[in-house]
């Protein structure tokens, strides 16, 4: 091979290697055996389930466990939104330390429970998280009101010789940390993938024609189900062009009153003048003529009277005159 041929082929091979190194692969990870899953990017293509890796976080390096490939990852190198990035595989020493981490967290939780009991603090400890490098321990708890835990923090700092943080959480975050199964039979949404809690109202259940029984539309946290927000916008969009409940329609020389909207089918449940129910399809109710409600006279309002002249001063003046005459 000549010198010119070697010079021309060398840059081509380096470009291919650069493209392979810059390609990213996407995985789902968990920092604990039970907890929320996150999407991460990594240049490593051969990561499998239960492989332990080191993840870059805001407070430093943390070990995590591979759950599986991220959905839709074809290995084509396209850029996607991720929560973290995987730096490398965990070493054997890091794996041994990672297996001991839940044991250390359990010991910290038992110690904190004993201190809470001795100090008679009105709080419920939910979970303990310890940083991998041991620089900080976070204690999550619930309480009905504010708790003075300054003495508790002092004792915990003296025992563990590290930074201690106490975080008060609500019942939704408590369910997120403990985990469980919902009424649908699947893992709780807050435990598996929800990053933040959106506001949920009873209006969302009414819009989707769901039963307003609190036992059926509440989760394990005794709050309204988070999944009520998933299809709320779709139901609102579908119901925009449909007649409202109670509206009267004239179709085929008959008058029907709307009783129920069925947006998924695009139809209406109506009642005729004879009391029989009829389902109007989308083509039928769009062809029907809406009838205006007759205006009712407002009851309880009296006719306005003419303002009367005030006679208070005259009566007082006449009264004084009569007294003087007497």
Express each pLDDT in 297-316 by its tens digit. Answer: 555 555 556 555 555 554 44
Strand pairing of 255-262 and 267-272?
Answer: antiparallel
Long-range contacts of residues 265-272, Cβ cutoff 8 Å, at least 24 apart: 266/238, 268/242, 268/243
Segments in the chain below pLDDT 70: 1-22, 72-78, 293-326
The distance of Cα 93 from the centroid of its chain, to the nearest Å, equals 38
Q: Which CATH superfamily is domain 98-169 in?
A: K homology (KH) domain (3.30.300.20)
- What whole-number distance in Å separates Cα of residue 22 and Cα of residue 19? 5
pLDDT tens sequence across 95-127: 999 999 999 999 999 999 999 999 999 999 999
Place of tokens 């993840």: 55
- What whole-number distance in Å separates Cα of residue 188 and Cα of residue 309? 73
Q: Tell me, what's the pLDDT at 295?
A: 61
Whether the CB-CB separation of 105 and 134 falls below 8 Å is answered with: no
Q: Which two tokens stand for residue 10?
A: 């060398």
Query: Domain residue spans in the chain?
Result: 23-89, 98-169, 175-233, 248-291
> What's this model's pTM, rounded to 2 decimal places?
0.69
Q: Tell me, what's the pLDDT at 81?
A: 78
**HSE (CB half, 13 Å, CA atoms) of 224?**
16
- What is the DSSP-derived secondary structure letter of residue 15? H
DSSP 50-101: T-EEEEEETTEEEEEEEEEEPTT--SS------SEEEEEEPPHHHHHHHHHH
- Closest by CA to 109, choosing from 132, 95, 134, 130, is 130
The helices-and-strands tally (H runs, E runs) of the chain is 10, 13
pLDDT tens sequence across 137-174: 999 999 988 999 999 999 999 999 999 999 999 999 99
Phi, psi of 165 (to 5 degrees): -130, 130
For the beta sheet containing 163-168, the strands, ordered from the edge strand earlier in sequence to the opposite edge, are 124-130, 136-142, 163-168
């Amino acid at each position: 091979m000549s010198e010119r041929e070697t010079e021309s082929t060398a840059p081509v091979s380096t470009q291919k290697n650069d493209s392979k190194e810059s390609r990213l692969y996407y995985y789902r990870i968990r920092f604990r055996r039970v907890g929320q899953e996150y999407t991460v990017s990594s240049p490593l293509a051969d990561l499998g389930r239960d492989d332990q890796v080191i993840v870059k976080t805001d407070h430093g390096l943390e070990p995590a466990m591979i759950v599986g490939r991220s959905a839709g990852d074809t290995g084509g190198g396209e850029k996607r939104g991720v929560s973290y990035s995987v730096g490398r595989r965990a070493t054997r020493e890091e794996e041994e330390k990672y297996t001991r981490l839940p044991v250390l967290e359990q010991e910290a939780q038992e110690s904190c429970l004993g201190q809470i009991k001795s100090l008679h603090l009105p709080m419920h400890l939910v979970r303990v998280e310890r940083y991998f490098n041991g620089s900080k321990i976070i204690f999550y708890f619930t309480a009905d009101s504010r708790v003075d835990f300054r003495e508790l923090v002092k004792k915990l700092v003296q025992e563990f010789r590290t930074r201690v943080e106490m975080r008060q959480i609500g019942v939704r975050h408590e369910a997120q940390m403990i985990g469980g199964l919902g009424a649908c039979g699947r893992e709780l949404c807050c435990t598996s993938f929800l990053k933040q809690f959106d506001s949920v109202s009873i209006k969302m259940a009414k819009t989707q024609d769901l039963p307003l029984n609190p036992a059926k539309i509440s989760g394990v946290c005794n709050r309204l189900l988070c999944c009520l927000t998933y299809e709320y916008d779709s139901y609102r969009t579908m119901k925009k062009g449909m007649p409202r409940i109670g509206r009267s329609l004239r179709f085929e020389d008959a008058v029907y009153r709307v009783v129920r909207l069925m947006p998924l089918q695009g139809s209406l449940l109506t009642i005729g003048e004879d009391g029989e129910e009829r389902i109007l399809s989308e083509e039928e109710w769009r062809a029907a003529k809406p009838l205006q409600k007759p205006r009712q006279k407002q009851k309880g309002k009296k006719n306005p009277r003419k303002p009367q002249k005030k006679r208070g001063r005259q009566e007082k003046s006449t009264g004084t005159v009569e007294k003087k005459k007497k």
